[in-house]
Amino acid sequence: MQRGVLYGMLAGALWGTVFVVPRQLAEFSPLLLSAGRYAMYGLVSLAALLPMLRRVWPRMTRADLVALVKLALVGNVLYYLFLASAIHLVGIAPASLIVGVLPVTVTLLGRRDHGAVPLSRLVWPLAMIAAGIVCINVDVFSAASEAGGASVLTRIAGIGCAVGALVCWTWFAVENARYLQRNAHFSGNEWSVLWGVVTGALGGLLWLGILVVPSHWVQETVAAGRWTTFWQLNLVLAIGASWLGNGLWNAAAKRLPLTLSGQMIVFETLFALLYGFIYDHRLPRGLEIAAIVLLVAGVSWSVRQHSGGPEDTAHGDGIVPDGDLPGIGNESRLAQPNNDAKKRSGRTTTA
């Protein structure tokens, strides 16, 4: 179990970098960041697909392709577009804390599925999470007012983008889990690689669209050296956060009870906050500390409400690869069936 916790922490540390890169590439538009990241991720996934193409392709159906396009569009492209926009507008801390309530929103969306926990058992955890969200919103507006920074509309737009990212991930988590429960003809690694390739195709199409329109519509002129940094950081995300991070997550999921592995998702939020504070060269403010405590406690408490019963120690949900560190993991972590549907962990592999 100790090794599983270590793997979960390392996965969270890698996923946390997804929140920092938009700050490091602040002069690039969110649309360009999303297109560049997923075009690079698609190339990495394509390299992983080639050795298994002969055995995977005959099983592919039209319904699978339609599902992959929908999941890739919402769970990757739109999600990261919203997330990068939120980070540009309000910073890393608010964006990571709002997206960090994902396990609870998945619970709410899947509350009608078999095995779901009654909402009456989630009243107090949800109240803590709501209080945490209030704290981070108050901090965003009060801190910006004191510093004379962004306008109120800009801050509202930033919070809205963070919520949009959360909605995208929540929908993806539940819909992907339900699709995998209905269709078990792909292993987890195969589905993850296929999803990465489709995501890369969408990223490539988005990039082509950007090239067609006048350049100033999407992106202001930047120095040539920054483009080198742009592609280097996107390659780091493709290999680190998407490949290695998701492989570590799958290894953790095989060693931990599923309710405990769900709590490991909190490490992504904590590492994102840590990286953000280091990048900004500051300590968290009082309301940020309160929001961190309330959100982490509320999410953990909510996950614990799903504990109990023999299914909590089962790991064979049909999508976790057999190896400890499988090829390319799911970009979304949420490929696993969630706790609400059948006591599954809500996130296999965002950001």
8 Å CB contact between 101 and 133: yes
pLDDT value for 247: 74
Q: Kindly list the domain boundaries of the chain, sorted by start residue.
A: 2-336
Tokens describing residue 20: 């920092």
pLDDT value for 260: 57
Amino acid letter, 330? N
pLDDT in tens, the chain (351 residues): 678 778 888 988 998 999 999 999 988 889 899 999 999 999 999 998 999 999 998 999 999 999 999 999 998 899 999 999 999 898 888 888 888 888 778 777 766 665 556 777 778 888 888 888 888 878 877 776 555 566 778 888 999 999 999 999 888 888 887 887 788 788 767 888 898 899 999 999 998 888 888 766 777 777 888 899 999 999 999 888 887 887 787 677 667 665 555 667 778 888 888 898 898 888 888 888 998 888 888 877 876 775 554 343 333 222 333 444 444 344 444 444 444 444 434 444 444
pLDDT value for 300: 78
**Measured on CA atoms in the order 188, 191, 197, 203, is the torsion positive or negative?**
negative
pLDDT value for 337: 42
CA 24 to chain centre: 19
Cβ partners under 8 Å of residue 213, min gap 6: none
8 Å CB contact between 75 and 176: yes
DSSP E strand boundaries for the chain: none
Tokens describing residue 191: 């589905």
pLDDT value for 46: 93
Tokens describing residue 197: 């390739």
* pTM of the entire predicted model: 0.77
Alpha-carbon span 248 to 58, nearest angstrom: 29
Query: Taking CA 188 as the corner, what is the angle to CA 34 and CA 268, rounded to the nearest 5 degrees?
Result: 50
